Structure 1
Amino acid sequence: MIAKEGFPFVLGSLAVFLVLVIFPVKLIIVVVAVFCAFCMWFFRDPERSIPPFKDVIVSPADGKVIEVFPIEHNGETVTKISIFMNVFNVHVNRMPITGKILSVRHMDGKFLPADKPEASYENEQNIIEIESEYGNITVKQIAGLIARRTVCYAKEGELLPIGDRLGIIKFSSRLEVFVPKGFDISLKNGDIVKAGESIIAKYAGA
């Protein structure tokens, strides 16, 4: 007999043995190497040239703009900007503006395709509230059909500069930013943006 605690190790060893018997070792090495190379490429985190301006909001994500419209949020009229990240985009998210992290709230949900409008409300997500000198800004990290985990590096109470690393979403996903009144929006649906570099709004006054 085998103690039940040993089953995972025995079965795991048996699975590896069967793979080695069935498939050529060279093929396994190639597959593992390709997968390793893909992971290194996908989780790349390049440096970005942050705009040296005080009164702007930069894109918090790489990707394609799929929504830009006014919406009621937290009792105020703001502009909602949604960015879709496909598997080829850098998935590290950045601070859209200099500010203090008021809260980071995780919401469980579904895993609908991230480019669908309903994903904004129904999918699993992190809701990050940022206090800036121009008003509060909300950022949502939204999981998708393949992306099953959203990670926020920021902690409540931290003061972070514009363009600083905020978190990451694994594989294709969606990120939203809610821009308060007083900003002129400088993008439209279909635009391609880069996290920390692309200016998406400029402060014009209250």
Structure 2
Amino acid sequence: MTLHREGKGSIIIAVVLFLLINFCTYKLLYPSYPIIFYFLLIVAAVVLGLVISFFRIPGRNYTDSEQAVIAPCDGKVVVIEEVQADEYFKDRRIQVSIFMSPLNVHVNRNPVSGEVVYNQYHKGKYLVAWHPKSSTENERHTNVYRVGNKEVLTKQIAGALAKRIVNYLSVGDQVKQGGEMGFIKFGSRVDLLLPLDAQVKVKIGDKAIGGITEIAHW
């Protein structure tokens, strides 16, 4: 396991705060209240561990299949439905949404290999990620990938805790399935919009593993 480059600043800040807080609590509490000091030390260590864990990149053997659309992130499948596309596409599409909790790996990955033909950032709100309107009203970053005559759209969507979306792609990029699309800090969701003839391979409630789980075949 390695740590993602997006975590460098956050981890440094967390370590500095950890040392500062525990230095102060040691001076103030340890002589008279050592039990309280040790309790606060444990709490601070758990929080620091969660921050470091948030930016982890576990070692994985990623799926490589021209017929598969893979999960762009870790998380729980919360939406599978036919929708009218509201961006880029003008027709109806199958939407698959994956919710990421703060405990999930937060690297976002390309669901297919192909050309990036659309890349757009949208300012917006910070509704909870499972809110039905979060796909259209929250801060988000949209990409469209073209694979032959097929296209798939992804939306990185900010949530109530997620305050920063990072996207590494540009129009014209030729990307590899499982490569890094971007990163969302501190919990959110990613939507996929698929052609109606795509065969969805997951169901609501399934746990998706980014870069590995096959979301659909085409």
Provide TM-score, normalisation by structure 1: 0.81
2:104 alignment counterpart: 89
Aligned partner of 1:172 among 187, 190, 196: 187
Between 87-96 and 47-56, the greater mean CA deviation after superposition: 47-56
Q: Report which stretch shifted further, 84-93 or 69-78.
A: 69-78
27, 44, 49: which one pairs with 1:37?
A: 49
Matches within 5 A, 1:1-206: 22=28, 33-73=45-85, 74-203=89-218
Percent pairwise identity: 31
> Which amino acid counterpart does residue 213 of structure 2 have in structure 1?
S
State the 1:53 CA deviation. Answer: 2.3
Shift of 1:134: 4.2
Contact 2:124/2:140, CA 8 A, preserved across alignment: yes
Consecutive unaligned residues of structure 2, counting only runs of 5 or more, are: 1-19, 32-36
Q: The residue matched to 1:61 in structure 2 has which SS?
A: coil
In the TM superposition, residue 30 of structure 1 has moved relative to its aligned partner by: 6.3
Contact 2:64 2:177 in 1 (8 A): no
Worse-matched range after superposition: 112-121 or 130-139:
130-139
Q: Give the C-alpha shift of residue 51 in structure 1.
A: 2.4
* Distance in structure 1 (CA, Å) of the matches to 2:46 and 2:67: 44
- Tell me the number of residue pairs that the alignment of Structure 1 and Structure 2 aligns: 188
RMSD: 2.4
Q: What runs of 5+ residues in structure 1 fail to find an aligned partner?
A: 1-14
Q: Which amino acid aligns with 1:51?
A: T
Hey, what's the Cα distance between the residues in 1 that align with 2:142 and 2:64?
27
Deviation sequence 1:129-185 (CA, Å, 0-9, x none)? 212224121100000001111111222221111111111111110110101233111
How far apart, CA to CA, are the structure 2 residues paired with 1:34 and 1:184? Answer: 42
For residues 125 and 169 of structure 1, the distance between their equivalents in structure 2, rounded to whole angstroms, comes to 10
- Matched residue of 2:183: which SS? strand
What SS does structure 1 have at the residue aligned with 2:83? strand
Bigger Rg over Cα:
1
Structure 1 match to 2:8: none
Q: Render the CA deviation track for 1:74-133: whole Å, top value 9, x for unaligned.
A: 212210001100111111111111111123211111111101111111111111121222
Q: Write the deviation string for residues 10-40 of structure 1: whole angstroms up to 9, x where unpaired.
A: xxxxx99xx5765669778766654443222
Q: Distance in 2 between matches of 1:23 and 1:156?
A: 56
**What's the TM-score, normalizing by structure 2?**
0.77
- Separation in structure 1 between the aligned mates of residue 106 and residue 151 of structure 2, nearest angstrom: 24
Taking the aligned partners of 1:134 and 1:69, their CA distance within structure 2 comes to 23
